[in-house]
Amino acid sequence: MPVPHSWVESANGPDADFPLHNLPYGVFDAGEGARIGVAIGDQILDLPAATAATGLAPEIVRACGTASLNALMSLGPAHWSALRRWTTEQLRAGAPASQALIPMKDAAMKLPVEIGDYTDFFTSVYHANNVAGFLRPDQSLWPNYKYLPVGYHGRASSVILSGTPVRRPRGQMKPAGAERPSFGPCHMLDYELEAGFFTGPGNLLGDPVPIDAAPGHIFGACLLNDWSARDIQFWESQPLGPFLSKSFSTSISPWVIPMSALEPFRVPAFPRATGDPAPLPHLYSQADQQRGGIDLTVEVYLLTPRMRDAGAAPARLTRGNFRDMYWTVAQMLAHHTSNGCNLRPGDLLGSGTISGATPDSLGCLLELTRAGADAIRLPNGEERCFLEDGDEVILRGYCERGEPGRGDHLRIGFGECRGVVLPPRPQPCAD
């Protein structure tokens, strides 16, 4: 039997998402308003209650007493490490049991961060190649792609917590063959499997963050579903990129995984193919090349209304890995600030759709169904080209190394990011 790590028994199973070496942060409400907590097994450590009378620095205690993670994010790596060391000591096997534990089932999770700005990147070269094939069949990948991490400014106000339903948007679209565009409910609703990264301390306007300093500005990670209305996107995106096809909703998972919990799962940056250009000097760092990748397995599951009614388990559509991303998180942040743009604590950076080289690792329906040309078949015989009303999309993610049951086994989970599609609102009357 593996040695238990924590006195919280549910944290010690081989498949536990939230063992002692994860300790993600979230915001919960168990009837006393929004409070910061740390997930351990199936419990939440109530951080303001636990840290109230301790030797922790007063600014840490103050940050733990707020209703969002922004203040904690702004403190920086030395304070993050101090809090993580302290929390680990409280929860490790042999420490006295704390009274500040709340069962997850008795708490409602809240959006963990006040997100000032949200930027979405496009860093899977497999995804980019596939999308280029649909949009530019006569041309290859965009010429800038291997020189900079392409991104666009998303909408922070419509970032929602896992479990919040997503309303099918209306929009303007021009189907192939139609003479004129029309306005109506989206017919090509899609998800995008992504990882999100929250920034820590910001940078002053005009002061770029050098790539070697970038890790000190990244607090943690979550799962992110960049819901996408493809028919609206295809019509509106020329020439300035996505707008209303993306801004109706973006879902994130409730627990923010500290970057230090991901440290054991760091891998080299994506190996560039022979003939690909080296990153320009401001996007190149030896340390980042050696350790900038993350061995993070990510999955998409679909639960249709028929499957739900039959009590069936969600069907897995995809299993990919974040190590396949062409650009690292540090490169995204260095690029973002390279013109002097200031990031602030709690800004959200989306990675872009995580797609790999194989057909079972494609991170959205656009790719899986080749823009709706080839429907996917679910285990119960249903078919999907795009999402239908009542469908629930579930993202899961985990890092794992070693063999379960052996001393070298290490696993942490990201939990889930879920969202069910609601039908469009009735069209408002003109008169």
Applying CB under 5 A, the residues found at the interface with Ca ion are 120, 192, 226
Closest by CA to 98, choosing from 26, 43, 31, is 43
Q: Which is nearer to Ca ion, 77 or 241 (CB)?
A: 241
Query: How does strand 266-267 pair with strand 348-350?
Result: unpaired
How many Å from the N-terminal Cα to the C-terminal Cα in the chain? 71
Select 68 or 331, whichever has its Cβ closest to Ca ion. Answer: 331
Gap between the Cα atoms of 383 and 389, Å rounded: 14
Phi-psi sector, 155: left (phi>0), alpha (psi -120 to 50), beta? beta
Q: How far is the CB of 216 from Ca ion (least distance, A)?
A: 26
Q: Which residues sit opposite 182 in a β-bridge?
A: 173
By beta-carbon proximity to Ca ion, the closer residue of 25 and 326 is 326
- What kind and span of H or E run contains 268? none
226 vs 288, beta carbon nearer Ca ion: 226
Q: What is the DSSP letter of 6?
A: B
Of 21, 79, 127, 336, catalytic = 127
Give yes or no: 127 in active site: yes
Q: The tokens of 40 are what?
A: 């351990």
Q: Which is nearer to Ca ion, 120 or 416 (CB)?
A: 120
Q: What is the nearest approach in angstroms of Ca ion to the Cβ of residue 353?
A: 5
Compute the C-alpha angle 167/223/29, nearest 5°. Answer: 75
Closest CB 159 distance from Ca ion, rounded Å: 13
Question: Shortest approach of Ca ion to residue 226 CB, angstroms?
Answer: 4
Amino acid identity at 131: V
Chain position whose Cβ is nearest to Ca ion: 226
Are the beta carbons of 167 and 425 closer than 8 angstroms? yes
Please give the DSSP secondary-structure letter assigned to residue 138. T
- Report in angstroms how near the CB of residue 352 gets to Ca ion at its nearest: 5
User: Which residue numbers are catalytic?
Assistant: 127
